[in-house]
């Protein structure tokens, strides 16, 4: 048993690597006599970006159905199978239950029975299309923040119906590549109507007709010829398109999320074992946690690097990528802290921030293309690589300090884990991270002002996002000033660090919820509820941290050395 415990971290590391390797070794292939693997790798243009058909199919089905596959009584269809049926056999496709509708009032308006299912066919929804359109027009005339749940649900359903129709009519994506004509990407139907003999459009038409006629031999031959043509003329684009298909089915960020959750569990059991005086087991569990975090960090790094390659942009271009980056840098801070303190708290915080931010990213990504076209104001690789990266590192550092503060409060109030030495070490680490957060937040904010001066002709305009950035800097300075001036001691620094979570969350997401100012391009309605819950939880934790020390289980008493006799 002792040997098993001794080698547990290495066993965990090998199993984690094997699970990741198994995902790479068994790709998400389509089981069909048709070469749909080559079909889904075809590059197309949609939303201002060249991407594979696989991405279009996945995002579209996710937007309409809430998942990336379609289930029927006969089989489970992949996104690309659903898509090719949609454009070659629309009469069958409109009978598939893919439209997810949850709101009871919308279901009542459509007269749909939702007792046994939550997904319905386009054919069923189409019967009330006029009423849906009228309700959507009324809802669109109301400001986003003032809409009720029914109005939001109607707008979502209307958007899904419009997307379904555009896909069916081949209005999007642009399927015809600029091969022989030397033009830009072109819509398929429009190209054929203007020039029925266009060779590129005719080649695509033959491919789709072969699939419709269930002629697998002809389909496979034609897709091979068309793929070769694209490789010859658009080699770099075709290469990136294939890589994106691999990126889609590997899902590195989801894999990292699972590993972070496992690391968190190992860390918690490791801390529990240390309280039960099982030192060897505790050390093995905490080392296993570190191994899992390292694997998750490597996978997350590969995912971020893949996005940089596919986009040709720095790692942070929108709220989705900022959430991924915050978690990634939090993992770095956690690993560094664990090397210094060796009590496992750094790894636990790294895993919490890691899976927490990846869950946020998953919900932010939703059904949209997370590598979509950049906002015009953000279209600068230099400033994306400097101002945005530095500010986001500041976010990560602030959250890390805040979550260390949460750990201090929870462990101090509810356990006997924090003795005097551990408590001191933890507060020193919080203080050091806040110093780092102050530097990065200040430098990032100044860089943002310089970018604003170049873009909008003014360094500072009291924009909501600018105010949020200033609040982070001021809050960090307040903590340092209060500590230097002796106004607060260790526990005061801890409670103030937790308050930094509120300020940072407001700057990161809250300012976007206002929907005003020059930085309102990241507006998201769904964040209102969750950020309110988060703020309330931080206030509660601050209140717990201010409870009298007499009721804390960890008493923080110095261990007095016994005099030698």
Highest mean pLDDT among 431-435, 447-451, 552-556: 431-435
Q: Is the peptide bond before 173 cis (omega within 30 degrees of 0)?
A: yes
Question: Does 181 have pLDDT greater than 70?
Answer: no
Phi then psi for residue 94, to 5 deg, are -70, -10
Distance, CA of 527 to chain centre: 14
The two tokens of residue 91 are: 């009469």
Question: Does 223 have pLDDT greater than 90?
Answer: yes
pLDDT at 13: 85
Q: Cα dihedral sign for 543, 545, 549, 550?
A: positive
pLDDT at 346: 84
CA distance 280 to 6: 8
The helix (H) or strand (E) run that includes residue 18 is helix 2-25
Question: Does 366 have pLDDT greater than 70?
Answer: no
**Taking the C-alpha atoms of 278, 280, 283 and 289 in order, what is their torsion angle to the nearest 10 degrees?**
-90
The two tokens of residue 555 are: 């008493």
- Which spans in 366-419 are helix H? 381-383, 389-414
pLDDT at 26: 66
pLDDT at 367: 60
* 55-64, 78-87, 142-151, 398-407: range with lowest mean pLDDT: 142-151
Chain segment 466-490, per-residue pLDDT in tens:
888 899 999 999 999 999 988 988 8
Distance, CA of 39 to chain centre: 27
The two tokens of residue 18 are: 């094997």
Within 8 A by CB and 6+ apart from 353, the residues are 326, 327, 330, 331, 334, 396, 399, 400, 403
Angle (nearest 5°) at CA 543 between 540 and 546: 155
Within 8 A by CB and 6+ apart from 560, the residues are none
* 82-86, 186-190, 300-304, 507-511: range with lowest mean pLDDT: 507-511
Give the DSSP letter string of 488-502: --HHHHHHHHHHHHH
Question: Does 495 have pLDDT greater than 90?
Answer: yes
- Number of neighbouring beta carbons within 10 Å of residue 436: 18
Question: Does 43 have pLDDT greater than 70?
Answer: yes
Query: Exposure of 290 by Cβ count < 10 A (0-12 exposed, 13-18 middle, 19+ buried)?
Result: buried
Which contacts qualify for 375-382: CB closer than 8 Å, 24 or more apart? Answer: 375/521, 377/455, 377/518, 377/521, 378/317, 378/521, 380/451, 381/313, 381/314
Give the DSSP letter string of 525-560: TTHHHHHHHHHHHHHHHHHHHTS-GGG-S------P
Residues 506-530, mean pLDDT to the nearest whole number = 68
Phi then psi for residue 315, to 5 deg, are -65, -20
Task: Give the pTM.
Answer: 0.88
pLDDT at 561: 47
| pLDDT band, residue 373 (cuts 50/70/90) | low
3-state SS assignment for residue 31: coil
3-state SS assignment for residue 76: strand
Q: What is the rounded average pLDDT for all residues in the chain?
A: 86
| pLDDT band, residue 501 (cuts 50/70/90) | very high
pLDDT at 261: 93
- What does DSSP say about strands 119-121 and 97-100: parallel, antiparallel, or unpaired? antiparallel
The helix (H) or strand (E) run that includes residue 468 is helix 464-484
More confident residue, 559 or 240: 240
pLDDT at 403: 92
More confident residue, 290 or 279: 290
Using the structure block, give the residue that is written with the tokens 């939303």. Answer: 47
Per the CB < 8 A criterion, the answer to whether 361 and 348 are in contact is no
Chain segment 228-286, per-residue pLDDT in tens:
999 988 889 999 999 999 998 888 999 999 999 999 999 888 888 776 667 788 888 88
CA distances from 247 to 137, 252, 284, 335, 496 (A): 38, 7, 33, 26, 41
Distance, CA of 293 to chain centre: 18
| pLDDT band, residue 559 (cuts 50/70/90) | very low
CA distance 452 to 377: 9
Residues 334-348, mean pLDDT to the nearest whole number = 81
Within 8 A by CB and 6+ apart from 18, the residues are none
Chain segment 47-80, per-residue pLDDT in tens:
888 999 999 999 999 999 988 888 877 778 889 9
Question: Does 563 have pLDDT greater than 60?
Answer: no
* 43-57, 507-521, 544-558: range with lowest mean pLDDT: 507-521
pLDDT at 293: 93
CA distances from 501 to 400, 434, 497, 521 (A): 9, 12, 7, 23
| pLDDT band, residue 523 (cuts 50/70/90) | low
């Amino acid at each position: 048993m002792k040997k098993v415990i001794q080698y547990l971290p290495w066993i965990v590391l090998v199993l984690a690597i094997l699970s990741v390797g198994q995902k790479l070794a068994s790709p998400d292939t389509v089981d069909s006599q048709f070469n749909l693997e080559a079909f889904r790798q075809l590059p197309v243009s949609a939303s201002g970006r060249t991407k594979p058909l696989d991405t279009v199919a996945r995002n579209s089905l996710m937007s309409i159905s809430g998942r990336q596959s379609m289930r029927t009584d006969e089989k489970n269809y992949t996104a690309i199978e659903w898509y090719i049926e949609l454009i070659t056999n629309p009469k069958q496709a409109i009978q598939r239950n893919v439209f997810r509708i949850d709101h009871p009032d919308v279901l009542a308006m459509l007269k749909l029975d939702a007792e046994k299912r939550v997904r319905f066919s386009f054919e069923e929804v189409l019967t009330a299309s006029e009423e849906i359109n009228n309700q959507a027009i009324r809802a669109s005339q109301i400001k986003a923040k003032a809409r009720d749940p029914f109005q939001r649900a109607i707008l979502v359903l209307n958007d899904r119906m419009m997307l379904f129709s555009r896909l069916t009519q081949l209005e999007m994506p642009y399927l015809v590549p600029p091969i022989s004509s030397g033009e830009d990407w072109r819509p398929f139907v429009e190209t054929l109507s203007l020039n029925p003999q266009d060779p590129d459009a005719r080649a695509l038409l033959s491919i789709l007709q072969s699939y419709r006629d269930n002629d697998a031999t002809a389909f496979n031959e034609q897709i091979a010829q068309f793929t070769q043509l694209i490789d010859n003329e658009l080699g770099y684009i075709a290469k990136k398109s294939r890589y994106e298909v691999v990126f889609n089915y590997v899902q590195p960020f989801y894999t990292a999320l699972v590993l972070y959750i496992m690391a968190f569990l190992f860390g918690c059991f490791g801390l529990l074992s240390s309280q039960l005086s099982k030192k060897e087991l505790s050390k093995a569990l905490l080392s296993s946690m570190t191994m899992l975090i390292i694997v998750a960090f490597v996978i997350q790094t590969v995912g971020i690097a893949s996005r940089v390659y596919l986009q040709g942009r720095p790692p942070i271009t929108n709220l989705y990528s900022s959430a991924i980056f915050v978690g990634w840098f939090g993992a770095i801070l956690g690993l560094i802290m664990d090397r210094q303190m060796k009590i496992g708290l750094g790894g636990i915080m790294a895993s919490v921030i890691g899976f927490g931010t990846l869950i946020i990213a998953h919900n932010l990504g939703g059904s949209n293309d997370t590598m979509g076209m950049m906002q015009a104001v953000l279209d600068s690789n230099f400033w994306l690589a400097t101002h945005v990266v530095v500010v986001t590192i500041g976010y990560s550092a602030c959250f890390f300090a805040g979550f260390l503060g949460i750990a201090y409060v929870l462990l101090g109030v509810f356990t006997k884990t924090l003795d005097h030495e551990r408590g001191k070490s933890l507060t020193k680490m919080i203080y050091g991270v806040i110093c780092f957060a102050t530097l990065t937040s200040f430098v990032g904010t100044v860089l943002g002002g310089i970018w604003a001066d170049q873009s909008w002709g003014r360094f500072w305009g009291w924009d909501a996002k600018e105010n949020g950035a200033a609040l982070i800097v001021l809050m960090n300075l307040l903590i340092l000033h209060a500590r230097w001036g002796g106004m607060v001691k260790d526990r005061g620094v801890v409670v103030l660090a937790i308050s930094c979570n509120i300020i940072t969350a407001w700057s990161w997401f809250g300012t976007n919820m206002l929907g005003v100012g020059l930085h309102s391009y990241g507006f998201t309605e769904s964040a209102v509820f969750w950020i309110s819950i988060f703020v309330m939880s931080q206030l509660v934790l601050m209140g717990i941290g201010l409870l009298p020390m007499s009721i804390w289980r960890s008493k923080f008493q110095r261990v007095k050395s016994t005099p030698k006799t």
